Each structure stands twice: as C-alpha cells, then as structure tokens.
C-alpha cells in the first residue's frame, strides 16, 4: 500500500495545472457531521467575498450542498470509492490536479491519513490549511490490521502534518462539534465568531409524500445495527402518543429489514406510512420539517431536526457522548432551545468508548448503553416536547 501511494504521488506530480483565484473548502464527512457544519459554512463567503469558492463534499449530501448559497461550485466525491476503487481514485485526483487553488481549507478535527490527508497532499494550492486535531479515524483504519496501530498512527500524523502549510490550533479537551467548528473559525477567520444552531439557508421543497393529517416521524435505523433501539420498544411508545397522529417511518434502503420487524408489533390500528428507502435527502428534510416531532436513533436525522426546527427525541449511545449530542451552543435564544433534541440515554462507566465496546464484539448486537434505555424514558422526553 505504501508503494502505491508513493507511485500515485509521483505520477500526479506530472499533471500540468492552471492556477485559479479560488478557495477550495473540503468537507467530505457524512450527512450528520455536514449539517452541524452548516453553522460555520456561511463564514467563508463573508471572509472571501471576491474569491471563487469551491466546496468539495461527500456525494451523500450533494443534494443539499448544491443548494447552499455560500459556494460558487460544488465537487462531490464518493468517499468509499475514493478509498477502495483505484480507477475512481486516480481519475478523481487527475481531474483536481489540473487546478491550483489559492487555498485549500479542511476543518476536519479527526483526520484520516488515507482520505483527508492524502487528498490534501495530492491537490495543488499555495496554502493548505488544516486542523491540528486528532487521529482517531486513522487509528480505526489501522486497528483492524496492525497490533501497534497507535505507534503507526503517531508516525503517520507526524508525516501528514507536513502536507499542510498551516495547522490551526485545537483545544485538547472534548468539545461538541458545533464548538469545535467555531474554534476553527475563530482561530483562522473570525476571532469573534460564536456557534449558533445550524439552519438550512434555502427553501426546502414541500414533499408530496407528506401526510394530510398531523404526523410524527420515527427514524428506526442507524449507520450501524449496534445503535438501533429494539423495535419492540415502539409498541409501548405508540400507546402513549396522541391517537390522532399518523406515524411515518423513515430511513435508508439499508433499514428496510427493520420495517419487517416493525410490522410485527401492535400499532393499535394506527395509520402507518412506510417511507423507508423511498425518499431523496431533500424529501426527508421536508418530511421531518413538517412533523409534530420525531423519534430517532443517533443518526443524521437527529441533526436534520435541528436544522429544520422540529422537536425531537434522540436515543443516544455513549461512544461519542457530548461530541455530537447533546447540543452545546454558544449563542442561542430561549426560543431556539425548544429545537434541541431531547436526549434519552443510559449512562455507563464505559462511555466515550469510540465504538470499541467491551461488552460486544459483533456488528449486529445492540450496544448495552442503547439496549438499557427504557420506553418509559423516551415517553418522558416526548412529554417534555408536548408540554
């Protein structure tokens, strides 16, 4: 693998380029992280009013990125293929290598040597700006194949730091992602910047799949089955929800097997609309926006609720507790506080495990910190919303 990266680097050096009066902002995270980042995204247009602003984003949220008024151009990349498909990777890098940007800015705190940092190395710019950050994501990649992964990760970070012309200082203490993004903006662009709730800065088209009567959304899936709350728990939840509310189930195509489990529970003859795997990202935003409230596992839906101002309950695991949930906002009004997700969690002494669970070793068993969350606790959080 090391030989491949070296050959790739040498070959890309031979590609002729043209210098541009442009700034590339790199944000190739997944949907939830990128929604949280929207609060900081607007600052680039303010700071670089006369530059051509290019956003390099993950293809999974391209639909949102292309509607943002902050950027003049959007380039979408399939992060998974960039790492696994050599042909796709080389074609992508050759295309970008033909352009020399004035600056490339990456705000990612948990850097990944094999994706984020090698992207920085292989692109052309007068300045390459990144975060000091940590190397948790690199360690995750190395942990599977190397017993001395921490030592290797340390060496890779030391090497990768040299790919940047400037690394923005970051606090070693644990910060909620909104505050972490604000830290970067303060230390590089605007010293007076304070985090606020992320908002969607464009009109969301009204989906024709929205029910005619009042409804709630249940987002029953998550990025891993280990974060999925037991489907049978919803039987008790549904008993306590206003009987006039229709239930709308949302999720990705990978969550379709969970619907088969949901069909087995007693829903008290409720109207249940299954939209799992049947919505675009913008349609999902619209459906969540007009819901009375949403119940969701710890996934992107919990951040969408904040951006579209819909009350929600988030069933939260402990792996990254206080980094992505609960929300900590530096500048927030009392009115905005009602849109912060209500957190249902079961605190354990193994919290902050970074998904290295000492109790389970497979990828299908629910984390104990999720499994132990009672339906009654979720009902209490729903009552907080209704009151």
- CATH says 2-188 is which class? alpha beta
What is the rounded distance in angstroms from the CA atom of residue 339 to the CA atom of residue 139?
34
Q: How far is CA 45 from CA 53, 74, 186, 194, 198, in A?
A: 8, 14, 15, 16, 16
Least confident window among 86-95, 117-126, 172-181: 86-95
Per-residue pLDDT, 89:
87
Looking at domain 215-386, its CATH architecture is 3-Layer(aba) Sandwich (3.40)
Domain ranges of the chain: 2-188, 215-386
pLDDT at position 10 = 64
Say whether pLDDT at 12 is over 80: no
Residue 275 has pLDDT above 90, yes or no: yes
pLDDT digit string (tens) for 141-155?
888 788 888 899 999
Residue-wise pLDDT tens digits, 39-57: 999 999 999 999 999 999 9
Average pLDDT, the chain: 93
The confidence score (pLDDT) of residue 197 equals 97
Distance CA 249, CA 139 (A): 35
pLDDT tier, 85 (very low <50, low <70, confident <90, very high otherwise)? confident
Q: How far apart are CA 3 and CA 210, in angstroms?
A: 53
Residue 385 CB neighbour total at 10 angstroms: 18
Give the model confidence (pLDDT) of 96-119 as tens digits: 989 999 999 999 999 999 889 999
- For the cut 90, the answer to whether the pLDDT of residue 178 exceeds it is yes
Q: Please provide residue 209's backbone torsions phi and psi, each rounded to the nearest 5 degrees.
A: -95, 0
Cβ-proximal residues to 321 (8 Å cutoff; 6+ apart), any chain = 345, 351, 352
Whether residue 294 is predicted with pLDDT greater than 70 in this model: the reply is: yes
């Amino acid at each position: 693998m090391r030989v491949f990266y070296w050959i790739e680097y040498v070959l890309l050096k031979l590609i002729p380029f043209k210098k541009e009066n442009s700034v590339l902002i790199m944000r190739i995270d997944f949907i939830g992280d990128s929604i949280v980042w929207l609060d900081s995204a607007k600052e680039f247009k303010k700071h670089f009013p006369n530059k051509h602003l290019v956003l390099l984003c993950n293809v999974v949220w391209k639909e949102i990125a292309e509607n943002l008024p902050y950027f003049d151009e959007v380039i979408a990349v399939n992060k998974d293929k960039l790492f696994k498909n050599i042909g796709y990777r080389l074609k992508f890098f050759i295309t970008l290598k033909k352009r020399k940007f004035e600056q490339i800015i990456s705000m990612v705190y948990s850097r990944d040597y094999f994706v984020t940092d090698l992207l920085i190395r292989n692109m052309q710019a007068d300045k390459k700006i990144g975060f000091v950050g940590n190397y948790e994501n690199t360690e995750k990649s190395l942990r599977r194949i190397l017993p001395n992964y921490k030592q290797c990760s340390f060496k890779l970070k030391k090497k990768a730091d040299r790919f940047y012309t400037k690394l923005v200082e970051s606090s070693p203490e644990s910060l909620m992602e909104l505050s972490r993004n604000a830290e970067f903006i303060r230390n590089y662009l605007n010293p007076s910047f304070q985090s606020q709730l992320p908002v969607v800065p464009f009109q969301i088209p009204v989906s024709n799949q929205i029910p005619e009567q009042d409804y709630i959304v249940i987002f029953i899936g998550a990025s891993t089955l280990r974060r999925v709350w037991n489907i049978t728990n919803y039987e008790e939840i549904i008993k306590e929800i206003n009987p006039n509310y229709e239930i709308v189930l949302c999720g990705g195509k990978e969550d379709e097997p969970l619907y088969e489990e949901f069909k087995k529970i007693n829903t008290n003859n409720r109207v249940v609309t299954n939209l799992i795997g049947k919505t675009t990202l913008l349609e999902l935003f619209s459906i969540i926006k007009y819901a009375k409230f949403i119940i969701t596992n710890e996934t992107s839906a919990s951040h969408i609720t904040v951006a579209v101002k819909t009350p929600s309950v988030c069933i939260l695991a402990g792996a990254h507790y206080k980094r992505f949930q609960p929300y900590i906002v530096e500048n927030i009004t009392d009115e905005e506080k009602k849109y912060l997700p209500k957190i249902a969690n079961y605190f354990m002494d193994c919290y902050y495990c970074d998904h290295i669970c000492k109790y389970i070793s497979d990828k299908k068993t629910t984390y104990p910190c999720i499994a132990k969350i009672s339906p009654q606790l979720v009902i209490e959080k729903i009552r907080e919303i209704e009151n």
